[in-house]
Amino acid sequence: MTYLIISLGLLLIAPITAFIAGQRGYDVMSWYFVGLLLGPLGLLAGFLPKRAHEPEIRFS
């Protein structure tokens, strides 16, 4: 299951990153590889447990 999610990330995030970079005038291939390498890390970060925000503890 994890391999499926990572491969979907490679197939979806890298081209989206390259497309957005091309629209903004950046080099498409270099941003494709950035999306290819860092896209799965973003997906894995999405599976991290959520942190409880407790501002009263931080500011007291």
Question: Over the stretch 17-32, which tens digit does the pLDDT of each residue have?
Answer: 888 888 888 888 988 8
Q: What is the mean pLDDT of the chain?
A: 77
4, pLDDT greater than 80 = yes
Residue 11, both tokens: 């197939």
Structure tokens at 2: 């994890």
pLDDT higher than threshold 60 for residue 14: yes
CA distance 16 to 8: 12
**Distant-in-sequence, close-in-space partners of 42: CB < 8 Å, separation ≥ 6:** 9, 13
Question: In terms of pLDDT, which residue wins out, 44 or 32?
Answer: 32
4: DSSP letter = H
C-alpha triplet 36, 38, 43: angle, nearest 5°: 100
